[in-house]
Structure formats: C-alpha cells, structure tokens
Amino acid sequence: MDSSTRSWTESFTWRIIGVVVLLVLSYAVTGSIAEASLITLLFNLIRVVLYYVHERVWEKISWGRGAEPENKLPFYLSLTLLILMFTILWILGGGT
C-alpha cells in the first residue's frame, strides 16, 4: 500500500496536469489567456464542490459495502444511464 504522502503527491500532480491541459485547450479555443484562466479556474472550483457533494451523497449509501446481500440492479441501471448520457452528449456534440 502506498503512503499517504505518495497518494497526496500523485493526486496533486494529476490535478496539475489536468489544469495545464484545460488551460491550453481553453486558450486554443478563446485566444485569450484571461478567458482561458477564468474557464480553468471556474471549472476546477466547480469540480471541487461537485466532488465534495458526490462523496457526501455516497457516504449515505450503504450499497456495495458488503453488509447486506449485493443487489446488482442499481449498479447496472446507473451504468446504463451513464453510457446513455454520454452517447446522447456525443451525438449532440457532433459525434466526432
């Protein structure tokens, strides 16, 4: 098992990569470093809030913790809806 310091370092470096990629892509689309910076900042702030909410919601869900017999239906339903959502977004986005 990795140490806590290693896990935090990996997490931090992964986020830096994500920020740099988004900043470069945003700049390529907008042509403005100010707009690209704003997009990158807002996107990452929103992600932090959504991640926190997501984790808090999952903390209240007992499914999958092994205390009760595992019902696969919620998992497969969630997976199907997720695939369907991404497919619809891909089609609406031009499907390239």
pLDDT 10s digits, 38-90 = 999 999 999 888 988 898 888 888 877 765 556 777 888 888 988 988 888 87
Q: What is the pLDDT of residue 67?
A: 59
Does the predicted TM-score (pTM) go above 0.75? no
Alpha-carbon span 44 to 23, nearest angstrom? 11
Q: What is the pLDDT of residue 70?
A: 64
Q: Where are the domains of the chain?
A: 4-60, 71-96
What is the chain's alpha carbon radius of gyration, rounded to the nearest angstrom? 18
Listed in sequence order, the residues at least 6 apart from 30 whose beta carbon sits closer than 8 Å to its beta carbon are 36, 39
Listed in sequence order, the residues at least 6 apart from 23 whose beta carbon sits closer than 8 Å to its beta carbon are 36, 37, 40
pLDDT tops 70 at residue 24: yes
Locate 8 and state its tokens.
């935090």
In the chain, the amino acid numbered 48 is V
